[in-house]
A and B are shown apart, each in its own frame.
Chain A
């Protein structure tokens, strides 16, 4: 069964000027073990596609005009709120762009990790290594243990101590590691990462990408990595989809698309990336229409 199967997704957003269509028939299939990069300019609809998979686009103003998003064979657009909550955190993990604003500043890192672990554990105790019907106390103990283990796994030294820290005591890179730990603690089948490295220092970016890459290959899960950086895609993705103004222009294996781009937009996008060999004056900007909306 396909892990994620998005078909003909059409999303419209209401504003006081009327309804604008944002996504025009998105089609995308992600299997386990695949790392999909989704590239495009700001406002091309990448983020909204990612949010749609967890059905996190508020409606109103959002409205799905047509299409389906089948996750493990079940359409999330038809699911109840309760079913959605069962998917989030447990089966679908999410990481967002800015690690400084995505951790709750008033709570310890550990508290936030444990709550996500408990949520996943309530749905399926095996996530925490427990048998079905485990007691509340066992769940709590296991969740705390899992939190420390997960924090260690994402490369936080002295995790058992640092778990009592507040977010402001962590550096930017460590916070993103903590957020990755939160996204992965429920042992999800699909990870959606929305610009996970954009807000980080270049030196930290590579570490975080490697971490995500290692975690997902180890667990053999599917990934949707949203980014505007083709370099990131070339580094860790197996597949890539190029988005432009709410449409997927081109999709396929990274090698095929980046080496032999068939669409002129993809070619232009590739030319806009500076490399070590780019000569002065060769770098090209993109011209085109203003995007219809902001993401």
Chain B
């Protein structure tokens, strides 16, 4: 098992190498003039040349790639032309906010989607089934940014029960930094007040991101539960008197989870990428907002950095999903 994880991690290395090369090529081949943009329209050619030298952009491409690669390993992910800070430092600063948002929405989607999928499979074609299926159809088609705007309009502007945007009030200091996730840090610090504030800011963006995965997870879970309920072993379990609750929440749930797990894994990437939209709507200071800013100013390094970190998180997630398969399906061997 441990050996399997190690081997999978080693196998990730060539993938990461290919990824950095690909991103590097994409970033360098594309037209666009970040230095010119950063230096401003009135910059002299000397100033631009000096900035290029400082950033290493005057070297030949293979040298630039090699420099970039060796830099990556030592934690030097390049400089952001726009923020004038090391990309790695920026990412370290913005990552927790994004992780918190993605976790929160995934949590909402899983905790609501899986039981709903189970229940609608059992009460197939009932009122709840039709209602949730209709909502699910809409939920998948709903643009995250539009849903975000509607939520802002309803809960922040009209009802005035939740904050419009941001992650934490500027005038107050967030709970002590442990994980960087404010809600978790507040719990660790035992600060109930800070937890409420953090959660109230987190609620709307998390819901805006959660609707589509929730709907998909629910549909997936419903379909696989219906399939599992028709299996012979469910009949045996019923024939030997096990209660419906035990059969559904223990014996059926575990079998139905396998295919749903894949969907959950895929949504991690979707959620991470989608932060560029939702964080823009809610001014959530995470990687998405950072990436959007960098893209709009054609700032290569932060874009590569953010893409790389998201790809790494995605690859690790898929590894975790593969390991979890073994939990839900004992036939899976780690070889």
Which of A's residues lie within 8 Å of B, judged by CB? 54, 56, 85-90, 93-94, 96, 98, 101-107, 112, 115-116, 119-120, 166, 168, 179, 182-183, 186
Contact A179 B236 (CB under 8 A): yes
Interface positions, chain B 201-238, Cβ under 8 Å from A, are 231-233, 235-238
Q: 21 A-B contacts, Cβ less than 8 Å apart?
A: A56-B235, A85-B243, A87-B241, A88-B239, A89-B239, A89-B240, A89-B241, A94-B236, A96-B239, A102-B232, A102-B236, A103-B233, A104-B255, A105-B255, A106-B251, A106-B254, A106-B329, A112-B237, A120-B241, A168-B331, A179-B236
Contact A94 B331 (CB under 8 A): no
Chain B residues within an 8 Å CB radius of A182: 236, 240
Chain A residues within an 8 Å CB radius of B232: 96, 98, 101-102
Chain A residues within an 8 Å CB radius of B233: 101-105
12 extra interchain contacts, Cβ-Cβ under 8 A, other than A87-B241, A104-B233, A105-B233?
A54-B239, A89-B239, A89-B242, A96-B239, A102-B233, A102-B236, A103-B236, A116-B240, A116-B242, A119-B240, A120-B241, A182-B236
Contact A88 B240 (CB under 8 A): yes
With A and B bound together, what is the CA distance between A59 and B235 in angstroms?
15
Residue from the set A54, A103, A104, A116 with the largest chain B CB neighbour count within 10 Å: A104
Chain B residues within an 8 Å CB radius of A101: 231-233
With A and B bound together, what is the CA distance between A161 and B186 in angstroms?
46
Residue of A nearest to B243 (CB): A85
Does residue B62 face the partner (Cβ distance < 8 Å to A)? no
With A and B bound together, what is the CA distance between A256 and B100 in angstroms?
77
- The 8 A CB mask of B306-326 against A (1 = contact, 0 = none) is 000000000000000000000
Contact A94 B239 (CB under 8 A): yes
Residue of A nearest to B233 (CB): A104
Contact A166 B240 (CB under 8 A): no
With A and B bound together, what is the CA distance between A182 and B240 in angstroms?
8
Chain A residues within an 8 Å CB radius of B255: 104-106
Which of B's residues lie within 8 Å of A, judged by CB? 231-233, 235-243, 246, 250-251, 254-255, 328-331
Residue of A nearest to B257 (CB): A106
CB A124 to nearest CB in B, in angstroms, measures: 12
Chain B residues within an 8 Å CB radius of A105: 233, 255, 329-331
* Residue among B241, B243, B246, B330 making CB contact with A166, cutoff 8 Å: B330
CB A27 to nearest CB in B, in angstroms, measures: 23
Contact B236 A119 (CB under 8 A): no
Residue of B nearest to A84 (CB): B241
* Residue among B235, B241, B328 making CB contact with A116, cutoff 8 Å: B241
Chain A residues within an 8 Å CB radius of B251: 104, 106-107
Residue of A nearest to B331 (CB): A168
Contact A86 B241 (CB under 8 A): yes
With A and B bound together, what is the CA distance between A96 and B240 in angstroms?
11
Contact B241 A96 (CB under 8 A): no
* Residue among A90, A94, A107, A179 making CB contact with B254, cutoff 8 Å: A107
CB B6 to nearest CB in A, in angstroms, measures: 25
Chain B residues within an 8 Å CB radius of A96: 232, 235-236, 239
Contact B239 A168 (CB under 8 A): no
With A and B bound together, what is the CA distance between A292 and B56 in angstroms?
83
With A and B bound together, what is the CA distance between A179 and B235 in angstroms?
13
With A and B bound together, what is the CA distance between A88 and B232 in angstroms?
16
Residue of B nearest to A120 (CB): B241
With A and B bound together, what is the CA distance between A168 and B326 in angstroms?
14
With A and B bound together, what is the CA distance between A103 and B330 in angstroms?
13
CB A80 to nearest CB in B, in angstroms, measures: 14
With A and B bound together, what is the CA distance between A116 and B251 in angstroms?
13
Residue of A nearest to B252 (CB): A104
With A and B bound together, what is the CA distance between A56 and B238 in angstroms?
8
